[in-house]
Structure 1
Amino acid sequence: MSQVQSGKVFANGVTLHFVAAGEGVPLLLVHGWMGSSHHWRKVIPLLAARHRVVAVDMRGYGDSDKPYGGYDGRTLAEDLRQVCVALGLDRPIVVGHDMGALPALLMAAETPEAVRGLVYVDEPLPGYNLDRFTVFTADNPFVYWWFAFNAQPRLPALMWAGKEAELVDYFLTSMAADPAAISAGDKAEYVRGLRKPGGLDASFGWYREALTTGAQIREATATPMRTPVLAVNGQWGHPGVEEQMRLVATTVTGVTLAACGHLCAEEQPEAFAEAVLNFTRNL
């Protein structure tokens, strides 16, 4: 990581922090909830051997600005498009994990001329199947209960204020097949971002706009997108990522990472990087 550069750009009305490394066809890495560019720390050196890799702290996270609003998928996709313009990333392959997969998908669906490929990592597909995983029923033993709670205005931040370390520890531990993949130092880095002014309220912004984002995805994929897609999930992560992506794209490759939960790039970095590099080889 000694060759990783760090900087900030002004994009779509907010200042966004990023890290970058390597040369070649650009890869834009987009983290998910509670994360930051730190999520990609293990795979950046592996991917940068062949690509120009840029990992962004999305609005609301890490060292980027933390407004209360602007978290619907289209606004976040526009953030990313402007980052690409500012940094000269020509037709990047966009890699989105968790809720970061949603603006990545909208970039690929709505501006296909500007996106070379999409890697959609371990996330439901709002607009198509989110209700299947959030409903509280006997046949859904690991219900995604936090979607509705996190979508409430102001309440989640009020409840978690002063307990950011407990929030991160609870969710990251439950999401990983091997919790040891995320160290105490890693958790402290995520907590640091959440404790910045506005950080907690901002972190729940994607949930407040999840239904809006789902409607945007449904509209954008009324005609299946032709951008090539790699669908990645952990063995113990979100099920059926490949199947759900076949609903919205014409060219889909699926990979399931063994002995892996939801945090694919942190739990199985070598296998994750291999899957991405195999996908990007012919793009």
Structure 2
Amino acid sequence: MNDVLINYVRCGEGKPLLLVHGLGSNWRSWRTILKPLAAQRSVTAIDLPGFGKSPPLVGRVSVPAMSDAIAQFLREHELLGTDAVGSSVGARLLLDLARRRGMLGAVVSLGPVGFWNGWERRAYQTSVCFWWRLAKALNQPMPAITTHDWSRRLLVKQLSARPASLSAPQVLEEMRSCASAASFRAMLDGLVHSGPVEGAAAGTLGHRLVIGWGRFDRICFPRQAERAQRLFPDARMHWFERCGHYPHWDAPEETTRLILRATAD
């Protein structure tokens, strides 16, 4: 594999913990829980290739290629076996890496994409693509748009079940990140045209796996959680009440507690 440059930030001291964001986001998406995690962990939050400040991959963008890029980052930074938390696409990538022996420690996968059936795949593609096009079309006036409560609710209702609780800078950062993501469309296409998620038979993971799902997830519908559980029978399912696709936004304290418990020795 060619050299991959991945931008990252590191903060805190203690047991290593990797954070992997979702489609269109960057490491700043985790700022709602970064400080409390860093109080007890040495946190490394990355920008996936083609997102944030990381340059795109060379060649085809796909789930395996993105997973390989993270694996290379872990080797280069002596983080093999680290505990990890992923959101959305990041959650899917960590499930892929969790199947590779020795790659990760405990994994918390929040709203992983890809457990769709039939029309759900098309619904995901249409919904997410519309949101991306909207972010690009409104990129210039976005600072003014996000000053209004009603507009913030409309912009991030896909991601959050509690959009009124989100600040203008937080929503602006997410929309700007989405609009500027060089690999957004390529990664979206790679996701929707990928094969079924490969699971891990009971007793084969060798480490703790927690899958978290919001009861009001409008991107990865809650019924998909049952499919994820079937494919990863050793996983513990955690339900976030009154939460959407981003529980680290809607329930930051609960998400922090879950992560710290799941990654405890």
Tell me which interval the TM-score lies in, with the shorter structure as reference length: 0.7 to 0.9
**Aligned amino acid, residue 236 of structure 1:** F
Pairing partner for 2:183 from 189, 197, 202: 202
Q: Which residue of 2 aligns with 1:52?
A: 42
CA contact (8 A) 2:135 2:179 kept: no
Give structure 2 stretches of 5+ with no counterpart. 146-150
Structure 1 residue 72 corresponds to structure 2 residue 62: yes
Structure 1 residue 22 corresponds to structure 2 residue 3: no
The residue matched to 1:209 in structure 2 has which SS? helix
Q: Return the offset for 1:194.
A: 4.2
RMSD: 3.0
How far apart, CA to CA, are the structure 2 residues paired with 1:259 and 1:231?
A: 17
Pairing partner for 2:254 from 271, 274, 280: 271
How far apart, CA to CA, are the structure 2 residues paired with 1:112 and 1:162?
A: 43
How far apart, CA to CA, are the structure 2 residues paired with 1:120 and 1:53?
A: 16
| Length-normalised TM-score, structure 1 | 0.76
Per-residue CA distance 1:215-256 (angstroms, 9 max, x = gap)? 4x33xx374542421011122124146533322224211211
Q: Which residue of 2 aligns with 1:133?
A: 120
**Aligned amino acid, residue 41 of structure 1:** R
CA contact (8 A) 2:80 2:102 kept: no
The residue matched to 2:7 in structure 1 has which SS? strand
Change (3 A) 1:247 1:54: same
Pairing partner for 2:208 from 216, 225, 228: 228
CA contact (8 A) 1:229 1:253 kept: yes
Per-residue CA distance 1:183-223 (angstroms, 9 max, x = gap)? 22123223443454xx3x511222111145434x33xx374
Give structure 1 stretches of 5+ with no counterpart. 1-10, 136-142
The residue matched to 1:174 in structure 2 has which SS? coil
Pairing partner for 2:102 from 109, 113, 134: 113
How far apart, CA to CA, are the structure 1 residues paired with 2:102 and 2:213?
A: 26
| Length-normalised TM-score, structure 2 | 0.81
How far apart, CA to CA, are the structure 2 residues paired with 1:188 and 1:175?
A: 14
How far apart, CA to CA, are the structure 2 residues paired with 1:222 and 1:232?
A: 17
Pairing partner for 1:254 from 237, 243, 250: 237
Change (3 A) 1:158 1:273: closer
Q: Which residue of 2 aligns with 1:178?
A: 162
| Count of paired positions | 251
**Aligned amino acid, residue 133 of structure 1:** E
Q: Return the offset for 1:42.
A: 1.5
How far apart, CA to CA, are the structure 2 residues paired with 1:188 and 1:156?
A: 14
The residue matched to 1:144 in structure 2 has which SS? helix
Q: Return the offset for 1:38.
A: 0.7
Percent of paired sites with the same residue: 22
Q: Which residue of 1 aligns with 2:172?
A: 188
How do 1:95-174 residues align onto structure 2 when only pairs under 5 Å count?
Answer: 95-109=85-99, 111-124=100-113, 126=114, 128-131=115-118, 133-134=120-121, 143-144=123-124, 146=126, 150=129, 161-164=136-139, 165=142, 170-174=154-158
**Aligned amino acid, residue 264 of structure 2:** R
Q: Return the offset for 1:130.
A: 4.1
Q: Return the offset for 1:117.
A: 1.8
Q: Which residue of 1 aligns with 2:148?
A: none
**Aligned amino acid, residue 228 of structure 1:** R
Q: Return the offset for 1:68.
A: 8.0
